[in-house]
Amino acid sequence: MSRVSELLEEELRAYEAHKPALLARHAGEYVLIYRSEILGIYPDENSAANAGYSQLGKVAFLVRQILPIDEVINIH
């Protein structure tokens, strides 16, 4: 199993669990999640990442844009 497949599983489960409520109030914004806890909502990705770095340091946390459907990135 690749290291990516195991990455941030707890945080992604928390995101899915909170997604309906997040969409209702913060669609398009960015959520910062550590383990199963939502730490904040931010207007852009860098603000959320910097908040995570400042509060948590070099640990794994999730920054995710709150969207109805999680996009598949098409590289081309």
Candidates 1, 2, 28, 68; binder of other proteins (CB under 8 A) is 2
Q: Taking CB under 8 A as the rule, does residue 63 contact other proteins? A: yes
Nearer to other proteins (CB atom), residue 27 or residue 55: 55
- 7 contacts 60 by C-beta, under 8 angstroms: yes
Candidates 5, 20, 24, 25; binder of other proteins (CB under 8 A) is 5
Nearer to other proteins (CB atom), residue 2 or residue 20: 2
Give how far Cα 13 sits from Cα of 40, 74, 75, Å. Answer: 17, 24, 26
CA distance 15 to 23: 11
